[in-house]
Amino acid sequence: MQEAIKQTELQTEQPFLARFFPNNEWVLIAVLLFEVLLFSVIGNNFFTSSNGFEITRLAVEIGLLALAMTPIIITGGIDLSVGSMMGLSAVVFGALWRDAHVPLPLAIVITLAVGILGGYLNGAMITKLKFPPLIVTLGTFSLFRGIAEGLTRGIENYFGFPQEYLFLGQGYIFGVIPTQLPIFIIAIFVIFWILQRTAFGRSLYAIGYSQEGARHAGIKVRRSLTIIYTLSGFMASLAAVIYVAHLGQAKSDAGTGYELMAITAVVLGGASIFGGRGTILGTILGLFAIVILQNGLRLSGLPTELAGILTGVLLVAVILFDRFSKTASSVNKVSFSEEEFEVKNSQVGFICAAIVLTGLLIAGSNWMLFSSINKGGSTVPATNASSQNASQTTPPTGKKAVIGMMPKAKGDPYFISCKKGADEAAKELGAELLWDGPTDLDPAKQNEVVEAWITRGVDAIAVSVENKEAISTVLKKAKDKGIKVITWDADSNKDARDFLINQATPQGIGETLMDETARMLGGKGEFAIVTASLSAANQNEWIKYIKERMAAKYPDIKLVAIQPSDGDRDRAFQETQNILKVYPNVKVIMGIAAPAVPGIAEAVKQSGKTDVKVTGLSLPNMCKPYIKSGIVDSIVLWNTGDLGYLSVYAANALVNNKLKQGDKTIEAGKLKSIEVVGDEVRLGKPFIFNKDNVDNFDF
C-alpha cells in the first residue's frame, strides 16, 4: 500500500525532474549547493569571485580528461591510460621545445599528434584485437608512463618556457578570467554537442546499451570506438600542454593519478559504468563537487584527507541513491538485468552492522596507535588543537601571525618529525600554524595549496619545495600580495622567496654521504644507491653531487647501480636483495630516502652478509635497531625538529619585521642565536648519527 502511494508521488514529480535532469543531476546540484553553503560559512574567503575562478583553473586538466572519459564510459569502456599519456605528452613537448629547438606552436601540434597516436593505439587494440578496454589501457598505463620515464631517464625536467606560453596556464584574461577557462568551456560545448546533439553521439549510447544491437542497427561500432579513444588521447595531450603551462615545467610524472580523478568525476556525475547512460552536465557537476570539496576543506583549515573519505562516501551514496531512484530505473531499464531488485531488511541491517563494527575496530586500534605514538609526550595533536593551546598562553610580542607551512608530503615520517618542532615554536610564539601539503605524488598539489593559502589570506608561507620551477611562479604571486615567503628543507628559485632556512645544501649532503661511504669502504671498492623514485628532484640533485665528489676525491670507488624504491620500504628491501646478488662486490649500500634505509638494512641482515655496510639519509628512530646492531654504520641528517622550529621562528620574525636582508643573526627561542648569511638562515652542518650518539635523539 505504502509503496503504491510512493510510486504515484514519484510519478507526479517525474516529468519536471526528468525533463531538466534526465539523469538525476539535481542530486549533485544539491550536493554542490550544500558544499558552497557550508564552506562559505566555515571557510576563509571561500565565496569570492577570485576563488571561484581559481577553482576553475584547478579543474581544467582533470576536467578535460573527464570530458573525454564520458563518451568512453557511456559505451561501457574505460581508459586508464590518460594520466600516463599526460606524462608522455609533457616530456615529448618539453624535449621538442628545448632539445630539438622546435618552435612552440609546432611543438604543441606534434604533442597533440602524439596524444592522437596513443589514443588510436588504444582504440585499435580494443576494436581490432577485441580486448577489454580495462586490460588494454592497463597495459598502456604502464607503457606510456614507462616510455616517458625511459626517455627522460626520470631526471629531465624541462622548464624556462617563454612567458607567452606560460600565459596559457597562469595568466588572466581581462585580469580575472584564467586563460585556460575559455579552452575548457569550448571543449565542454564541443563534447556536449557531439555526444548529445549528433547522430554519432546517440550511437555511442546505443553501443553502451548493447554493442551487438548497435551493430545490427547499422552503427559502425569499431569506427565509433576508435574515434572516442583517439579523442581521449588527444584530450590527454591537450591537458598536458595546459598542465605544463600551468606549472611551468614538464616532467615524466605529470598527471600521476589523474585517471582515477577523471573516472571519479564521470561516475559521480551519474554515468553508468556498464554503459548506456551519462551526460556532460553530470560530469561537470561531478568534477566540481570534488574540486570544491578539496578547495573548501583547505580554506577551512580542515584536514585534506577528509576529501578522500568524503569523495568515497559521496560516490557510494550517489550510486546508491541512483539505484533506488525510480526515475533512473525507468530511463535505464535495459542496462540492468530484469531480475527483481530486492534487499531484505536483514541485509540492510547487516551492512550497517558491518560498517559500524569495522569502524569501531579500526577506531579502537587507532586509539591504541595514538596512545602508543604519544607515549613519549605531547606530539601528535592536530593543528587546530595546538593553535588552541597556543591562544591560551600569552604571545610574547607582535601580532598573532598566521603561518602556512607545507611539507613535500604530509604522510612522510621525516616531515612529521619536522612538524613536532614547528608546533612547539608556534605554541611558544602564539602563532597560528596551518600544516598542509600533498598527500600523494601529484606534483601540482603544492601549487594548489599555496593558491588556497593566498586566497585564505595568511601572513607567511613556508614551503619545502618539491618542484622548484613549478612552485616559484605561485610563490612570486604570494610575495606580490604581501605575504612573506620562506623556503625550508628544499629551495625554490631565489627571487620567489624572502629567506631560505638552510639545514644543509644539496652539495653538503651529497659530499657528507660520499665521505661516509668512502670511510666505510676504506677509500676503495664498489657501492650502490637506493633512491626514492627515479624522478625525485632532490634525490637526483644529491646523486649529482655524490658523483662529483667521487670523481674528484675517490678515484678507486665505483658506483655500480642506482635502483628506485618509490619511497616504499618493501620495494627497497627487494631491490637490495637484487643488488647483493647481481653485484657481489658491493660493500656499501646507500639509501637516500628515509623509508629506504630500514628496508635496505633488513635485506642485508636477512642475507647474512656481515661485510656489507649500510648508510644514507634517514630518521634516527626508524634506523635505531639497525644502527645498534651495527648493520647501519651511520646515517646523515640534521635535527629535523629544530628545522621545523627554526622555520616557524623565522617566518614569525619576518611577519613582525624582525628579520630583514642584511641581518647577521636571528634569535630563535631555544636555539638561541642562529647565523644568517645573505638570504639564508643556517641551521648548521648535516649531522652524522652512529651507534654512540643515536640514543640521544628521538625523532
Q: Which of residues 347-366 bind another protein (CB under 8 A)?
A: 347, 350-351, 354-355, 357-358, 361-362, 365-366
Could you say whether residue 385 binds another protein (CB under 8 A)?
no
Q: Please, which of residues 604-623 interact with another protein by CB under 8 A?
A: 606-607, 621-622
Nearer to another protein, 51 or 379 (CB): 379
Beta carbon nearer to another protein, 627 or 666? 627
Phi/psi for 581 (5° steps) reads: -85, -40
Residue 95 as a binder of another protein (CB under 8 A): the answer is: no
- Given a contact cutoff of 8 angstroms between Cβ atoms, the answer to whether 179 and 165 are in contact is no
In this structure, what C-alpha cell is assigned to residue 416? 612529521
Please pick, from the candidates 94, 115, 154, 641, the single residue that binds another protein as defined by CB under 8 A. 154
Q: Is 578 a binder of another protein (CB under 8 A)?
A: yes
Q: Are 475 and 463 in contact (CB under 8 A)?
A: yes
First to last CA, the chain: 66
Rounded Cα distance between 461 and 459, Å, is: 7
55, 291 contact by CB (below 8 A): yes
Q: How far is the CB of 591 from another protein (least distance, A)?
A: 14
Q: Are 59 and 291 in contact (CB under 8 A)?
A: yes
If the CB atoms of residues 467 and 533 are measured against another protein, the closer one turns out to be: 533
Instruction: Check residue 132 for interaction with another protein (CB under 8 A).
Output: yes
Under 8 Å between Cβ of 475 and 485: yes
The correct pick among 323, 481, 670, 685 for binding another protein (CB under 8 A) is 323
Among 16, 33, 41, 150, binds another protein (CB under 8 A): 150
Report the residue from 65, 89, 145, 646 that binds another protein according to the rule CB under 8 A.
145
Which listed residue (37, 100, 343, 385) binds another protein by CB under 8 A? 343
Under rule CB under 8 A, residue 570 binds another protein: yes
Q: Measuring CA to CA, which residue among 454, 456, 582, 588 is closest to residue 517? A: 588
Whether the CB-CB separation of 511 and 549 falls below 8 Å is answered with yes
Which residues, at least 6 apart from 611, have a Cβ–Cβ distance to it below 8 Å? 587
**Length of the chain measured in residues:** 699
Q: Which is nearer to another protein, 533 or 652 (CB)?
A: 533
Among 32, 143, 181, 688, binds another protein (CB under 8 A): 143
Residue 570 pairs in a beta bridge with: none
Convert residues 237-276 into a mask of x (bound to another protein by CB under 8 A) and - (unbound).
-----------------------x--xx--x----xxx--
Cβ atoms of 464 and 648 closer than 8 Å: no
Question: Is 131 among the residues that bind another protein (CB under 8 A)?
Answer: yes
Q: Which among 242, 269, 279 has a CA at the least distance from the CA of 71? A: 279
**Contact flag: residue 311 with another protein (CB under 8 A):** yes
Whose cell is 542496462? That residue is 335
**Residues 488 and 514 sit within 8 Å (Cβ to Cβ):** no
Q: Residue 28 Cβ, how far from another protein at the closest point, in Å?
A: 15
The single residue among 37, 185, 217, 309 that binds another protein, judged by CB under 8 A, is 309
Closer residue to another protein in complex, CB, 249/417: 417
Taking the complex as a whole, the smallest distance from the CB of residue 111 to another protein amounts, in Å, to 19
Rounded Cα distance, 299 and 403, in Å:
13
Q: Which three cell numbers stand for residue 544?
A: 649529482
Q: Which of 230, 563, 640, 652 binds another protein (CB under 8 A)?
A: 563
Given the complex with another protein, which of 117 and 354 has the nearer CB atom? 354
Q: Among residue numbers 59 through 88, which ones bind another protein (CB under 8 A)?
A: 78
Of the residues 93, 144, 288, 649, which one makes contact with another protein according to CB under 8 A: 144
In angstroms, the Cα distances linking 640 to 118, 623, 645, 697 are 45, 15, 9, 10
Q: Which of 395, 625, 669, 684 binds another protein (CB under 8 A)?
A: 625
Measured from the CB of residue 357, what is the shortest distance to another protein in angstroms?
6
User: What burial class does residue 183 get, using C-beta atoms within 10 Å of its C-beta: 0-12 exposed, 13-18 middle, 19+ buried?
Assistant: middle
Segment contacting another protein by CB under 8 A, of 126-134, 157-165, 657-665, 683-691: 126-134
Q: CB of residue 311 vs another protein: minimum separation in angstroms?
A: 6
Window 188 to 217, contacts with another protein (CB under 8 A): none
Closest distance of CB 451 from another protein, Å: 21
CB of 597 to another protein, least distance (A): 11
d(CA 679, CA 662): 8
* Minimum CB distance to another protein smaller for 190 or for 316: 316
Angle at 67 between CA 66 and CA 73, to 5 degrees: 75
User: Closer to another protein at the Cβ: 125 or 284?
Assistant: 125
Give the interface segment with another protein, choosing from 46-54, 302-310, 391-399, 547-555 (CB under 8 A): 302-310
- Could you give the CA distance from residue 537 to residue 144 in angstroms, rounded to a whole number? 21
**How are beta strands 680-682 and 687-690 bridged, if at all?**
unpaired
The per-residue DSSP string of 115-179 comes to HHHHHHHHHHHHHHS---HHHHHHHHHHHHHHHHHHHHTTT--EE---HHHHHHHH-EETTTEET
From 526, 548, 568, 680, residue interacting with another protein (rule: CB under 8 A): 568
Of the listed pieces 186-194, 230-238, 489-497, 565-573, which binds another protein according to CB under 8 A? 565-573
For residue 321, state whether it binds another protein (rule: CB under 8 A). Answer: no
Interaction of residue 564 with another protein, rule CB under 8 A: yes
Q: Under rule CB under 8 A, which residues in 432-451 are in contact with another protein? A: 439
Per DSSP, the residues of 288-342 read: HHHHHHHHHHHHTT--THHHHHHHHHHHHHHHHHHHH-HHHHHHTTTTS-SS---
Contact call for residue 315 and another protein (CB under 8 A) = yes
Minimum Å gap between C-beta 672 and another protein is: 30
Yes or no: say if 253 and 158 are a contact pair by the CB < 8 Å rule: no
Give the nearer residue to another protein in terms of CB position, either 621 or 656: 621
| Number of neighbouring beta carbons within 10 Å of residue 257 | 14
Number of residues in contact with another protein under rule CB under 8 A: 99
Assess 308 for contact with another protein (CB under 8 A): yes
Residues 14 to 43: which contact another protein by CB under 8 A?
A: none
Q: How far is the CB of 288 from another protein (least distance, A)?
A: 18
Q: Which long-range contacts (CB under 8 A, 24 or more apart) does 582-587 make?
A: 583/526, 583/528, 585/525, 585/526, 585/560, 586/526, 586/527, 586/528, 586/560, 586/561, 586/612, 587/520, 587/521, 587/525, 587/526, 587/527, 587/611, 587/612, 587/613
138 part of the interface to another protein, by CB under 8 A: yes
Q: Does 673 bind another protein (CB under 8 A)?
A: no
We find the least distance from the C-beta atom of residue 481 to another protein, in angstroms, to be 30
